[in-house]
Amino acid sequence: MTSLLEHPRGAEPGKPGDRSAFSFETITRLPNTADGLGRDGARYGRTGIIHTPHGDIRTPAFVPVGTQAAMKGVLPEQMKELGAQCLLANAFHLFERPGEDTLDLAGGLARYMNWDGPTYTDSGGFQVLSLGAGFKKTLAMDVTGLKSDDVIAEGKQRLAFVDEDGVTFKSPLNGDEHRFSAEISMGIQHKLGADIMFAFDELTTLMNTRSYQEESVERTFRWARRCVAEHQRLTEARLGKPYQALFGVVQGANYEDLRRRAASQIASLDFDGVGIGGAIEKRILGQTCAWICDEMPEDRPRHVLGIAAVDDIFAAVENGGDTFDCVAPARCARNGAVFTRDGRWNIKRAQFKNDFSPIEADCDCYTCRHYSRSYVDHLLRAREYNGFTLATIHNERFFVRLLDEIRASIDGGYFDDYKRETLARFYANGSRG
């Protein structure tokens, strides 16, 4: 273990975590323009540094998702080598196994998984959607006329039930009943020990009715107040632990007034940052981020939950997103879909069987430096674990590097040119990514 993991900043024996160990500083801000989506033409895109007890995150940054405190098929050391600055794990799944007490005894998430850097945990709020309505994605192109509060994905069974106090889940592992509330989520996440955690929220679908979205925004606000109170209590009670930052989550679907109201509500509470979450129509992703940033203080970092399409990342960065997470790069990799500067394509096409070039000629990832398209194609077809590893390394490096280059373009004053050229090249052949 390194000294960073053993002795994180802001932790002293017998004392609560020092909140000053977490902070955010802005480096460069995109200039406003006549067509900027924020108030008075504001473009909230920026570069900055999130300071955490386990190290700094230079933003904008991509946050790879290791749901079970692990990237499937890829070691933490390999994630560090490909340039990942931080990782995100899932509080609900870690609660189910191995349990938050195990991670607490191990010294927290980073130490448990031997990750030398900052970590995030979500609150369990995503499972309100995934186990409730059965959907995995929160983005959609068009949901006109599709309104129902009882909507559920085809072939799925409802496993999450919301009430005023919290959510009752049925375990997808064994059917056991679990209860999550603001206080329970905070207790679990404090024991998991991530540098950044999220308030417990209700994630709705785009198909929910306007009246239900209104009720949900208010319920999420009430839960947010309870999360702040419990977070403050636990911070004072758990002596000798580094400070854990708490981000409030803004919901409101695709309604401007609800997004602005929710953002103002979250801004009024003592959060360290904000999560831009929930159901968002793809066509107004940038606009939605701008509405929220209009209502938020500039000194709080903004995390956009669950996006990894290249055009979505540019839209969110330009309108205020600082960090982004998504399972898509790794999930797509395991199915053979790889991301390159020239689009997303499936490496298991017949044309690559005897193609001994790298996945991408100018990619600096371990896979492209050592292995061919033919070999990765063979491994994936044979369902060999090494294929999952090599494809995942490439895809995660693609998104880490994309955000690194976006950050450099903002600092260098050429963001607009870089955005135009990158999107034109990536989507030239009709890529879905």
Is 126 assigned to a binding site?
yes
Is 355 assigned to a binding site?
no
- Which is the catalytic residue, given 104, 122, 294, 312? 122
Q: How far is CA 125 from CA 93, 199, 241, in A?
A: 12, 8, 25
Is 362 assigned to a binding site?
no
Distance, in Å, from the CA atom of 91 to the CA atom of 104, rounded to the nearest integer, reads 13
Distance, in Å, from the CA atom of 161 to the CA atom of 66, rounded to the nearest integer, reads 26
CB 192, CB 109: distance < 8 Å: yes
Is 251 assigned to a binding site?
yes
CB 44, CB 320: distance < 8 Å: yes
Q: Which amino acid is at 367?
A: T
Bond from prior residue into 13 cis (ω within 30 degrees of 0): no
Tokens encoding 388? 């999952």
Distance, in Å, from the CA atom of 353 to the CA atom of 376, rounded to the nearest integer, reads 9
For 253, the 3-state DSSP assignment is coil
Distance, in Å, from the CA atom of 363 to the CA atom of 340, rounded to the nearest integer, reads 8
Q: What is the maximal distance between C-alpha atoms in the chain?
A: 63
Is 326 assigned to a binding site?
no
Is 86 assigned to a binding site?
no
Bond from prior residue into 98 cis (ω within 30 degrees of 0): yes
| Contacting residues for 98 by C-beta, under 8 A, at least 6 apart | none
Is 124 assigned to a binding site?
yes
CB 57, CB 118: distance < 8 Å: yes
- Buried b / exposed e across 222-247, counting CB within 10 Å, b at 16+? ebbbbbbebbeebbeebeebbbbbbb
CB 181, CB 161: distance < 8 Å: no
Is 306 assigned to a binding site?
no
Is 38 assigned to a binding site?
no
C-alpha atoms less than 13 angstroms from C-alpha of 392 in its C-beta half-sphere: 24
Q: Return the DSSP state at 35.
A: T
Radius of gyration over every alpha carbon of the chain, rounded to an integer in angstroms: 21
Tell me if residue 116 is catalytic.
no
Tokens encoding 293? 């940033």
Is 394 assigned to a binding site?
yes
Is 365 assigned to a binding site?
yes
CB 100, CB 94: distance < 8 Å: yes
CB atoms closer than 10 angstroms to residue 136: 12
- Phi, psi of 245, rounded to the nearest 5 degrees: -75, 145
Tokens encoding 416? 């607009």
Tell me if residue 325 is catalytic.
yes
- Which is the catalytic residue, given 294, 312, 325, 377? 325
Active site residues: 122, 325
Annotated binding site for substrate: 122-126, 201, 251, 278
Annotated binding site for Zn(2+): 363, 365, 368, 394
Annotated binding site: 122-126, 201, 251, 278, 363, 365, 368, 394
